[in-house]
Amino acid sequence: MKAFDIKKILVPIDFSDTSLKALDHAVYMAKISGAVITLVHNTGSMMVNTSPGEYYASSIDRLTDYENEVFNKAKEHLQNLADKVEKKNGIKTTAITTSGRVKDEIIGAAKKIKADIIIMGTHGTKGFREFIIGSNTFRVINEAKCPVLSIQGKAKTIGFKNILLPFRDKPHSREKVDYAIKIAEMYGATIHVLGIDTGDKKSDLKKIELEANQIKQIIEKHNIKCKVKVESSAYLSDKILKHAKKVDADLITNMADMDRMRVSEYFMGPFSQQIVNHSPIPVLSIRPSYNPETVDLHGYGW
């Protein structure tokens, strides 16, 4: 796995309280990692998916003028926020203002600055929108090459002391463990490993217990406190969120391969989306770089 060295943080800003809370998390992380921050704001565009023939020329001109005015004011507002963050915290902070589709512009900005992590607020979605449409945050998570730290509006604290690392018995690489270790080292946190058995055999539970203890050994080699719990449940998201509350977790590391069995379905599905949308605490989502069907865990001491 590529070393998780946080030097460039991207923060999407829509000026809501939730996005500003995400910025607070970014500032804290930048202070302890020595990173720089880039703010990105997207004004959107009413011209997307429209052809010139759909409007009279004068209407197009007025709409263009209006969008330019909105863009310029937003750009000024975002730059003022960046200047304020830099002056107050001594952290180099730049601003990018875009127009277009939210998800595409965030992904584009992340690629442009080669972001190591995206920290963004999420308002969550429910019902039909959750499973069919999905939130912008989840869309970014689904395509971003770097980890995405999503912050719910309900999140109260800044910084992490208890990290929940859930897993189940599936082919997966050790990289999620490595990310959890890096964050724990940065924040001086304890990692709570939660092994979830979804099978119906005693041998399945024993295998989970063995793997959980192997993960614990890897974590403790980094002088990080680690606690292990193994339970059986068919309701993954419910079990994870309840256990997070039980151990007073303030971060969940989202292992993207927990809910998919086939390679074609590997990247972020309904289970991961439930965690992102419903967790009252921040979630670190990682897009795996290895094929889950071919990873050899033995090379990592598993």
Q: Given this model, what pLDDT does residue 174 score?
A: 61
> In CATH, which of 3.30.70.20, 3.90.1150.10, 3.30.1300.10, 3.40.50.620 is domain 8-152?
3.40.50.620
d(CA 84, CA 89): 8
- Give the predicted TM-score (pTM) of the model: 0.84
Q: Strand, coil or helix: what is 39? A: strand
- Residue 35: how many CB atoms within 10 A of its CB? 21
Q: Given this model, what pLDDT does residue 252 score?
A: 95
- Residue 15: how many CB atoms within 10 A of its CB? 11
Domain spans of the chain?
Answer: 8-152, 166-300
Same fold, 8-152 and 166-300: yes
Helix axis angle, 102-113 to 136-143, nearest 10°:
40
Task: Give me the half-sphere count of Cα atoms (radius 13 Å) on the Cβ side of residue 33.
Answer: 24
Query: Which of the residues in the chain have pLDDT under 50?
Result: 48-50, 55-56, 125-134, 173, 257-268, 291-302
CATH architecture assignment, domain 166-300: 3-Layer(aba) Sandwich (3.40)
Q: Given this model, what pLDDT does residue 198 score?
A: 77
Tokens of 148: 């995405």
User: Pick from 18, 65, 74: which is nearest to 43 by CA?
Assistant: 74
Task: List, for residues 59-118, the tens digit of each pLDDT value.
Answer: 556 667 767 888 999 999 999 999 999 999 999 999 999 988 889 999 999 999 999 999
- Residue 111: how many CB atoms within 10 A of its CB? 13
* Bridge-based pairing state of the strands 190-197 and 117-122: unpaired
Asked if 148 and 118 count as a contact pair (C-beta separation under 8 A), the reply is yes
Average pLDDT score over the chain:
81
